[in-house]
Amino acid sequence: MEVIKGKSVFGGIVIGKIAFYKKSNEKIKRYKVDKPEEEVTRFDNAKQTALLQLDELYKKALTEVGEANAAIVQVHQMMIEDLDYLDSIKNIILTQGVNAEYAVGVTGDNFSQMFSTMEDEYMKERAADVLDISNRIVRVLNKEEDGRFKLTEPVIIAADDLAPSETIQLDKNMVLSFITRQGSTNSHTAILARTMNIPAVIGIGEELKQEYDGKYAIIDGFTGTIYIEPEENVLKEMEVKKKQDEEKKILLQKLRGQENITIDGKKINIYANIGNSTDIGAVLKNDAGGIGLFRSEFLYLEKDTFPTEDEQFAIYKYVAESMAGKKVIIRTLDIGADKQVGYFDLPLEENPALGYRAIRICLTVKDIFKTQLRALYRASAYGNIAIMFPMITSLEEVKEIKEIIQEVKAELAETGIDFKDNLELGIMIETPAAVMISDLLAKEVDFFSIGTNDLTQYTLAIDRQNPKLDKFYNPHHPAILRMIQLTADNAHKNGKWIGICGELAGDLSLTETFLKMGIDELSVSPGLVLGLRNKVRESDVSKILKNW
304 is in an annotated binding site: no
The reply to whether the predicted model has a pTM over 0.75 is: no
Q: Is the pLDDT of residue 273 over 60?
A: yes
Class of the CATH domain delimited by 36-141? mainly alpha
- Is 76 catalytic? The answer is no
Q: How confident is the model at residue 336 (pLDDT cuts 50, 70, 90)?
A: low
- pLDDT top residue among 115 and 17: 17
Q: How far is CA 141 from CA 38, 40, 167, in A?
A: 13, 11, 23
The sign of the CA dihedral 94, 95, 97, 103 is negative
Mean pLDDT: which of 5-19, 112-126, 496-510 is highest?
A: 496-510
- Beta bridge partners, 386, equal 329, 424
State the first-to-last Cα distance of the chain, in angstroms, to the nearest integer. 42
Query: What is the C-alpha separation between 341 and 265, in angstroms, rounded?
Result: 46
Inter-residue contact 467 to 187 (CB < 8 Å): yes
Tell me the average pLDDT across 132-161: 79
Tell me the average pLDDT across 188-197: 67
Q: Is the pLDDT of residue 324 over 60?
A: yes
- Catalytic residue, from 188, 362, 476, 477: name it: 188
**The pLDDT value given to residue 260:** 96
**The pLDDT value given to residue 399:** 96
Where are the chain's structural domains? 2-20+149-251, 36-141, 254-540
- Catalytic residue, from 476, 477, 492, 501: name it: 501
444 is in an annotated binding site: no
CATH topology for 254-540 is TIM Barrel (3.20.20)
Per-residue pLDDT reduced to its tens digit, 510-542: 999 999 999 999 999 888 899 999 999 999 999
Q: How many CB atoms lie within 10 A of CB 474?
A: 13
**The pLDDT value given to residue 483:** 97
Lowest mean pLDDT among 63-77, 165-179, 376-390: 63-77
Mean pLDDT: which of 49-63, 162-176, 347-361 is highest?
A: 49-63
Sheet holding 200-202, edge to edge: 2-5, 225-228, 216-220, 13-20, 155-159, 175-180, 200-202, 7-10
Query: What is the C-alpha separation between 469 and 461, in angstroms, rounded?
Result: 11
Q: Is the pLDDT of residue 325 over 70?
A: yes
Mean pLDDT: which of 99-113, 191-205, 296-310, 441-455 is highest?
A: 441-455
Q: How many residues are recorded in the chain?
A: 548
Cα torsion for 32, 33, 36, 39, to the nearest 10°? -110
**The pLDDT value given to residue 253:** 80
295 is in an annotated binding site: yes
Tell me the average pLDDT across 44-55: 90
**The pLDDT value given to residue 347:** 61
- pLDDT top residue among 460 and 245: 460
Which among 433, 547, 446 is positioned nearest to 499, based on CA atoms? 446
Lowest mean pLDDT among 186-190, 363-367, 382-386, 450-454: 186-190
Q: How confident is the model at residue 66 (pLDDT cuts 50, 70, 90)?
A: low
494 is in an annotated binding site: no
- pLDDT top residue among 498 and 359: 498
Per-residue pLDDT reduced to its tens digit, 100-138: 999 999 998 888 888 777 766 666 667 778 888 898 899
**The pLDDT value given to residue 404:** 96
**The pLDDT value given to residue 168:** 65
Per-residue pLDDT reduced to its tens digit, 408-437: 999 999 999 999 999 999 999 999 999 999
464 is in an annotated binding site: yes
Q: Is the pLDDT of residue 186 over 60?
A: no
Q: Is the pLDDT of residue 26 over 70?
A: no
**The pLDDT value given to residue 73:** 77
**The pLDDT value given to residue 24:** 55
Q: Supply the DSSP symbol for 450.
A: E
Q: Judging by beta carbons within 10 Å of its beta carbon (0-12, 13-18, 19+), is residue 150 exposed, middle or buried?
A: exposed
Lowest mean pLDDT among 186-190, 237-241, 407-411, 440-444: 186-190
Query: What is the C-alpha separation between 212 and 227, in angstroms, rounded?
Result: 11
**The pLDDT value given to residue 149:** 63
**The pLDDT value given to residue 276:** 77
Query: What is the C-alpha separation between 314 and 164, in angstroms, rounded?
Result: 30
Q: State residue 18 phi and psi, 5-degree precision.
A: -85, 135
Residues 6+ apart with CB under 8 A from 86: 47
Tell me the average pLDDT across 249-264: 88
CATH topology for 2-20+149-251 is Glucose Oxidase; domain 1 (3.50.30)
360 is in an annotated binding site: no
Element (H, E) at 384: strand 384-389
Q: How far is CA 48 from CA 189, 284, 395, 427, 488, in A?
A: 26, 39, 49, 43, 53
- Is 477 catalytic? The answer is no
